[in-house]
Structure 1
Amino acid sequence: MKHLTKTAAALALLAVPAFAQQDTITLGMVLEPPNLDPTGGAAAAIDEVVYANVFEGLTRFGSDGSIQPALAESWEVSEDGTVYTFKLHEGVTFHDGSEMNADDVVFTLNRARAEDSTNAQKALFAGIDSVEAVDPLTVKITLSEPNGNFPFNMAWGDAVIVAEETVDQLATDPIGTGPFTFSEWVQGDHVTLVRNENYWGEPVALSTATFKFISDGNAAFAAMMAGDIDAFPNFPAVELLSQFENDPRFEVIVGSTEGETILAMNNQQPPLDDVRVREAIAHAINRQDIIDGAMFGYGTPIGTHFAPHNPDYVDLTDLSDYDPDASRALLEEAGATDLTLRLMLPPPGYARNGGEIIAAQLREIGIDIEITNLEWAQWLEQVFGGKDFDLTIVSHTEPADINIYARPDYYFQYDNPDFQALIEELSVTTDPARRTELNQAAQRMIAEDYVNAYLFQLAKAGVKNANIEGLWENAPTQANDLTDVHWTE
């Protein structure tokens, strides 16, 4: 277990900040976003800053995971399920003062689905056949086939509406329609947003919001105790959270996330192209050891890529239960002995700490592991983009994203036509009972193919000043939505 530095310990004992009523907030974040354009980057940290704050989509996720109207005040669906007509709110403007209308929706969606699109979730838009501005406040979207999930797709951060005139500057100077405008980004330190006084919707209570990047647990603890940080929704050192619990100035918040944390395997890279090797790796892992050792007990074991809080979840952990003897037998059967595999680890503690535990467990079955620690930008370039890895650990925080396994070019390179056909059927199915059947079949297929080793569902464990209300307890998407956040006294 990590121990506090002398400086952090002193601050814990001596700091007694006076938290006065105010309309500003400073939030801690573990990772700094590589850019601020949610339509052109895969990093969750982007949405953690800008989702619902700076940018808005036609629809949005509520704190309970429900799909709610956003820039679209309402929508209608044709009887055959292929035409969605969205009615936009009147009087919406971008932060530069220009009008947001149906033409911007047409531009945004056509850009996202274009052949040269850099959108990280391009699959969300693949079923769009055409987008038409019926009038300035009406957009008709025609799909190539029915999709009962289309309003859900439009709620993602990757689907926020942007203007053609400012799209080239979104990475560093984002212009959206949200209740906050971008103020400054001090690289390596913080991003600051300020209240949009011309916001079209319900005004927010906060005048200023600063997102400060602190990856070290002891530094995060010291910053909270000193009052430099008002809330840390995803605290980087869960082992220290207990020290806030008996302090009346703070409140510890533990909720659930959409984050399936996995040991991802490169399915096209020998020997991992052999399902017996992947299964051997899965059986070599003791999930509870990782949850206890890397997450200090925070986390729920999973056996497939699906959130346990979802009503369609199937507990398949028994398919990959801890059985090192079975692992050794599978490796021998596959002729895969004296293996050395590369484990690439991004910065989060679940990856770095969990990687050490997994490496030790794999060495027990005869697989030598070479660990390389990567910064987030390196991980995105080498692993996610370049597919240059054997193993990696990452938490997939996108909601209901089992469909990524239907993309053969995705970074773990799983290519199964049967799974692709299953997801294709799911995408056009509107009957709830049939959707449940398909979701459960999809979960079982990837579990039985041992595409990846499924570790645990990431908990949302954080801390806040006790006088702050309105922060999300759970995380239906990767966001620090500040639209309802306020101080009580």
Structure 2
Amino acid sequence: MFRRTRRLSLIAALAATAVILSACAGSPEPTVTTGTGTPDPDATLHVGLVLEPTNLDIRHTSGAALEQILIDNIYEGLVSRTQENEIEGRLASDYTVSDDGLTYTFTLNEGIQFHDGTALTSADVVSSYETVRTDATVQGNAEFAKVSSITAPDATTVEIVLTEPDQNFLFTLTGPAGLVFKTGDTTDLKSAENGTGPFTLTRWNKGSTITFARNDDYWGEKAGVAQVEFQYIPDFTAGVNAALAGDVDVLTAVDPNLAPQLEDSGEFALTKGRTTDKATLAFNNQKAPLDDVRVREALRLAIDHDALVEAVGAGTTLYGPIPELDPGYEDLSDVISYDPEKAKSLLAEAGQEDLELTLTIPAFYGTTVPKVLISDFKKVGVSLEVNSVEFPTWLEDVYTNHDYDLSFVLHVEPRDFGNFADPDYYFGYDNTEVQRLYAEALAEVDPDKSAELLAQAARIVSEDHAADWLYNGETITAVSPIVAGFPEDSINSRIDLAGVTVSTDG
């Protein structure tokens, strides 16, 4: 079941973030907007998004398109996470973890109600999490493998016991697995909802818009706007036109090519948001000549990462498998540099002066990255053929059968370093020291010590040149001056809108 869950997650993540790679030119430096004027509590916030959900059942359907709008707005868990990926309480007012890292105790906030008016109790949490633990079709089932019991000592307390420590367990609870649903609820979650969040679902015009209304009976601080209308505009140019026409107050996932139009209009401020998106150039570590570390290092040395980031238009350099927003991040730029001459020397030493390789890439990623790689590799004597395939073909050939030389994918999931500790993953990277350090990091109850272990493992992975990390993705958002409080970071995975306001004037 682990493989199935990981596969579905990857499918959804790739589809949800393909938009970031469509650009091929630089963008202006962003400015930050804080909003001006007097907030209007009766206002409607109009948000332009790219990827529309296929249905609204976040329990059984994977994908950033669902998490982006539903988590924290419609549904809530015991804990949530900030834009910086730090864990904080949500439905739980307080939580403790035992010294041995096995027992998690949560205390619920008072006065929480589902949208149908039913009071939430600890029994709802238990039934929700038992479903995750026992039903393999529910999102997060694999991540609950170490859960041995979920109990409710009283109406406001939940206790979860693990069979062994898991440093990632609390973070798991910030995702779909941790959301709380009403016990025995018969709501058709594909098209309706019954959450506890600051907004309720009022309309879904499929192919067009999803509308939320403020939940005036919300147990916490009430939302700052009366309504939110999400407009789904998959075409980037159409999105910019909609913004310039005044149809949306916020446009997410702005194409860097088109960003100057919005900035030059004077009607929007642009923000660049950090993400955990890792633009990964995968090497097939089990296939000659890529099983030779000298060849892998040479390929990394051949890439001008600064120029590639500039060509993509939104991102920062990344020289290892852990991005800045995840535990264990360390600047690993000392491991690799742009050095074509050293690349040529290593290829000659490995007997690969006239190397021919194939890059297999999902077709929706466009041509920007392949063009840069073709040019950079040519300078060191490597011929790169690009095999642009439909996504199902990529899944079958690369992800499942490991039949490839190089591949390029945007790995968007947070805390996914475990892929490099899994020799059966499509990277084919097998290092027992990395596997040991990763296992110790998960079992370590001290988060700082766990992060140190992850950093050690990540450095080994980069020094082994198990892959190349072309860049850490960023998202560009255009925000009208009448809007204040719109999130900047991690908005490709969730947009908490409760604190956003719209002013009566700009």
- Normalising by structure 2, we get a TM-score of 0.79
User: What is the match of residue 353 of structure 1?
Assistant: 368
**Alpha-carbon offset, residue 288 of structure 1:** 1.5
Q: 1:487 to 1:78 in 2, by over 3 A?
A: same
Q: Provide the C-alpha distance between the structure 1 equivalents of 2:72 and 2:436, rounded to a whole number of angstroms.
A: 34
Are 2:245 and 1:229 aligned?
no
Equivalent position to 1:403, from 418, 440, 446: 418
Equivalent position to 2:452, from 437, 449, 462: 437
Are 2:90 and 1:70 aligned?
yes
Segment drifting more, 28-37 vs 479-488: 28-37
Q: Which amino acid aligns with 2:302?
A: A
Are 2:388 and 1:369 aligned?
no
User: What is the match of residue 82 of structure 1?
Assistant: 102
Percentage of identical aligned residues: 33
| CA deviation vs aligned residue, 1:244-280 (integer Å, no higher than 9, x gap) | 3354432222232232222234545665455444334
Q: Provide the C-alpha distance between the structure 2 equivalents of 1:81 and 1:331, rounded to a whole number of angstroms.
A: 48
Q: Which amino acid aligns with 2:209?
A: H
Q: Provide the C-alpha distance between the structure 2 equivalents of 1:101 and 1:430, rounded to a whole number of angstroms.
A: 29
- Where do residues 64-463 of structure 1 align in structure 2 (5 Å cutoff)? 64-114=84-134, 116-117=136-137, 119=139, 124-147=143-166, 150-163=169-182, 165=184, 169-235=188-254, 237-268=255-286, 272-295=290-313, 298-308=314-324, 312-328=328-344, 330-331=346-347, 339-345=356-362, 347=364, 352-364=367-379, 365-372=381-388, 374=390, 390-431=405-446, 434-463=449-478
Q: Provide the C-alpha distance between the structure 2 equivalents of 1:392 and 1:33, rounded to a whole number of angstroms.
A: 27
**Alpha-carbon offset, residue 444 of structure 1:** 0.4
**Alpha-carbon offset, residue 304 of structure 1:** 0.5
Q: 1:252 to 1:477 in 2, by over 3 A?
A: closer
**Alpha-carbon offset, residue 227 of structure 1:** 0.9
Q: 1:108 to 1:323 in 2, by over 3 A?
A: farther
Partner of 1:242: helix, strand, or coil? helix
**Alpha-carbon offset, residue 425 of structure 1:** 1.2
Q: 1:434 to 1:64 in 2, by over 3 A?
A: closer
Q: Provide the C-alpha distance between the structure 1 equivalents of 2:296 and 2:65, rounded to a whole number of angstroms.
A: 30
Q: Contact (CA 8 Å) 1:44, 1:397: kept in 2 or not?
A: no
**Alpha-carbon offset, residue 486 of structure 1:** 1.1
Equivalent position to 1:49, from 64, 69, 84: 69
Q: Contact (CA 8 Å) 1:105, 1:161: kept in 2 or not?
A: yes
Equivalent position to 1:474, from 470, 484, 489: 489
Q: Provide the C-alpha distance between the structure 1 equivalents of 2:134 and 2:345, rounded to a whole number of angstroms.
A: 48
Are 2:499 and 1:484 aligned?
yes
| CA deviation vs aligned residue, 1:461-488 (integer Å, no higher than 9, x gap) | 2111111011112228821111111112
Q: 1:342 to 1:432 in 2, by over 3 A?
A: closer
Q: 1:287 to 1:335 in 2, by over 3 A?
A: same
Q: Contact (CA 8 Å) 1:73, 1:88: kept in 2 or not?
A: yes
Q: Which amino acid aligns with 1:370?
A: V
User: What is the match of residue 9 of structure 1?
Assistant: none
| CA deviation vs aligned residue, 1:123-170 (integer Å, no higher than 9, x gap) | 643432221222333211112233455433322344322356459954
- Normalising by structure 1, we get a TM-score of 0.82
Q: Provide the C-alpha distance between the structure 2 equivalents of 1:469 and 1:203, rounded to a whole number of angstroms.
A: 16
**Alpha-carbon offset, residue 382 of structure 1:** 7.2
Structure 2, unaligned runs of 5 or more: 1-22, 26-37
Structure 1, unaligned runs of 5 or more: 4-18
Q: Provide the C-alpha distance between the structure 1 equivalents of 2:121 and 2:359, rounded to a whole number of angstroms.
A: 49
Q: Provide the C-alpha distance between the structure 2 equivalents of 1:464 and 1:205, rounded to a whole number of angstroms.
A: 16
User: What is the match of residue 12 of structure 2?
Assistant: none
Segment drifting more, 54-63 vs 393-402: 393-402
Partner of 1:481: helix, strand, or coil? coil
Q: Provide the C-alpha distance between the structure 1 equivalents of 2:421 and 2:181, rounded to a whole number of angstroms.
A: 28
Q: Which amino acid aligns with 2:360?
A: L
| CA deviation vs aligned residue, 1:70-96 (integer Å, no higher than 9, x gap) | 111212232333211112234433345
Q: Provide the C-alpha distance between the structure 1 equivalents of 2:395 and 2:184, rounded to a whole number of angstroms.
A: 28
Q: Which amino acid aligns with 1:87?
A: T
Q: Contact (CA 8 Å) 1:352, 1:373: kept in 2 or not?
A: no
Q: Provide the C-alpha distance between the structure 2 equivalents of 1:139 and 1:20, rounded to a whole number of angstroms.
A: 38
Q: Provide the C-alpha distance between the structure 2 equivalents of 1:2 and 1:268, rounded to a whole number of angstroms.
A: 32
Partner of 2:335: helix, strand, or coil? helix
Aligned length: 467
Q: Which amino acid aligns with 1:422?
A: L
Q: Provide the C-alpha distance between the structure 2 equivalents of 1:258 and 1:111, rounded to a whole number of angstroms.
A: 29
Partner of 2:161: helix, strand, or coil? strand
Q: Which amino acid aligns with 1:60?
A: S
Partner of 1:25: helix, strand, or coil? strand
Aligned CA RMSD, in angstroms, stands at: 3.5
Q: 1:446 to 1:292 in 2, by over 3 A?
A: same
Q: Provide the C-alpha distance between the structure 2 equivalents of 1:30 and 1:163, rounded to a whole number of angstroms.
A: 31
Partner of 1:303: helix, strand, or coil? coil
**Alpha-carbon offset, residue 313 of structure 1:** 3.0
Q: Contact (CA 8 Å) 1:184, 1:192: kept in 2 or not?
A: yes
Segment drifting more, 479-488 vs 410-419: 410-419
Q: 1:46 to 1:286 in 2, by over 3 A?
A: farther
Q: Provide the C-alpha distance between the structure 2 equivalents of 1:136 and 1:103, rounded to a whole number of angstroms.
A: 7
Q: Provide the C-alpha distance between the structure 1 equivalents of 2:390 and 2:403, rounded to a whole number of angstroms.
A: 12
Q: Which amino acid aligns with 2:243?
A: M
